[in-house]
A = this chain, B = another copy of it.
Amino acid sequence: MTVMEQRGAYRPTPPPAWQPRTDPAPLLPDARPYRVLGTEAAGRTDPDLLLRLYRQLVTGRRFNAQATALTKQGRLAVYPSSTGQEACEVTAAAVLEEHDWLFPSYRDTLAVVSRGVDPVRALTLLRGDWHTGYDPHEHRVAPLSTPLATQLPHAVGLAHAARLKGDDVVALALVGDGGTSEGDFHEALNFAAVWQAPVVFLVQNNGFAISVPLAKQTAAPSLAHKAVGYGMPGRLVDGNDAAAVHEVLAGAVRRAREGGGPTLVEAVTYRVEAHTNADDAGRYRSESEVETWRAHDPIVLLEEELTHRGLLDEATRTAARDAAEAMAADLRARMNADPALHPLDLFAHVHARPTAQLREQAEQLRAELEAEAEGAGR
Contacts and interface: CB of A to CB of B under 8 A. Distances in A.
Q: Which 8 A-B pairs have the closest CB atoms?
A: A183-B183, A12-B38, A219-B231, A186-B186, A226-B229, A3-B43, A193-B219, A20-B221
7 contacts: A14-B296, A15-B238, A18-B33, A21-B215, A27-B221, A183-B183, A218-B230
A21 B221 contact: yes
B304 A219 contact: no
Nearest to A216: B194
Nearest to A23: B221
Contact of A4 (B12, B23, B43): B43
Contacts of A10: 38, 304, 308
Contacts of A184: 183
Contact of A304 (B12, B217, B228, B268): B12
A6 interface: yes
Interface string A224-247: 011111111000001010000000
A185 interface: yes
Contacts of A214: 21
A42 interface: yes
Contacts of A20: 31-32, 221-222
B21 A219 contact: yes
Given A24-B225, A225-B229, A296 B13 contact: yes
A3 B309 contact: yes
Interface in A23-61: 23-24, 27-28, 31-33, 35, 37-40, 42-43
A62 to B, nearest CB: 21
Given A16-B296, A187-B183, A309-B3, A228 B238 contact: no
A193 B216 CA distance: 10
A130 interface: no
A300 interface: yes
A129 interface: no
A221 to B, nearest CB: 4
Contacts of A342: none
Nearest to A226: B229
Given A31-B20, A42-B3, A183-B184, A228 B220 contact: yes
A182 interface: yes
B230 A13 contact: no
A16 B292 CA distance: 6
